[in-house]
Amino acid sequence: MLSYVTTNEGKVREARDYLDAVESVAFDYTEIQADELGPIAARGAREAYAHVGGPVIVDDAGLFVEGLGGFPGPYSAYVEETLGVERVGELARRAGATRAYFRCVIAYCDGAPFEATPEPIDYGDRRGHDLAADERATATTDDAVVAGDLPVRLFEGAVPGRIVEPRGDGGFGYDPIFEHDGRTFAEMATAEKNAVSHRGRALAKFGEWYQERSD
């Protein structure tokens, strides 16, 4: 059984559309401070695997406002707690910096070593605020692997949008201020958000790989 280790109910709701055989485990792993989602998720996946003792995925996500240098990015959870979603929205709108995107990295760890030596990840232009063009922001990177004491595999997804005044009461977190194709994520049903979202893309990639691997 695969465990989706998260304390966020909203993430679990979205993952159910992709993963039938998944159990959610509300273990609060340590989130290291880093300017990349990948290493945060990889470190979390190792710790979660050690805690659960079976295959796990963790999901690290964030909102990146281009004109604010990618803020709040990897600090999105902390900023949501301290500043709040509405004030992040005000900040972006007041600065005229409304282009933004969400990113999500799913990290998988099952304790098994890789058969081949993994390619190191090139974070170069994957840094949040460098993903400028819509086209690049919508592209998902191939799954990547992180060597270490416990190998981890990463799946990434991103979606471009615009910061707007809060609308809608679905979703969670920054969804009410993130508009994509005319609607905020909070105005979409879970399946609609999944079809275009950062998490949906990352989960689809993971699901495809996981399925192939267990066939």
Cα(57)–Cα(24) distance, rounded to whole angstroms?
A: 10
Q: Shortest approach of ligand ITT to residue 171 CB, angstroms?
A: 6
Contact 53, 2 (CB under 8 A): no
Tokens 């989130």 map to which residue?
31
CB closer to ligand ITT out of 91 and 147: 91
With residue 3 as reference, give the H or E element that holds it: strand 2-5
CB closer to ligand ITT out of 45 and 145: 45
Name the residue with the smallest CB distance to Na ion: 77
For strand 2-5 and strand 22-25, is the pairing parallel, antiparallel, or unpaired?
parallel
For strand 56-65 and strand 99-109, is the pairing parallel, antiparallel, or unpaired?
antiparallel
Counting contacts by CB under 6 A, is residue 62 touching ligand ITT?
yes
* Residues ≥6 apart with Cβ < 8 Å to 29: 5, 43, 44, 47, 48, 51, 58
Name the residue with the smallest CB distance to ligand ITT: 173
CB closer to ligand ITT out of 147 and 204: 204
Which listed range, 1-9, 143-151, 153-161, 207-215, lies at the site for ligand ITT (CB under 6 A)? 1-9
Contact 155, 108 (CB under 8 A): yes
Residues in 123-142 at the binding interface with ligand ITT, rule: CB under 6 A: none
Cα(142)–Cα(155) distance, rounded to whole angstroms?
A: 7
Q: Is residue 130 flagged as an active site residue?
A: no
Q: How far is CA 5 from CA 46, 99, 154, 199, in A?
A: 11, 30, 15, 15
Binding mask 70-99 for ligand ITT (x = CB under 6 A): ------xx--x-------------------
Q: Which tokens sit at 8?
A: 């966020």
Judged by CB under 6 A, the residue of 111, 147, 150, 172 near ligand ITT is 172
Counting contacts by CB under 6 A, is residue 59 touching ligand ITT?
yes
Judged by CB under 6 A, the residue of 6, 141, 184, 194 near ligand ITT is 6
Site for ligand ITT, rule CB under 6 A:
6-8, 11, 31, 59-62, 76-77, 80, 102, 171-175, 185, 197, 199
Site for Na ion, rule CB under 5 A:
77
**Residues annotated as catalytic (active site), given as ranges:** 60
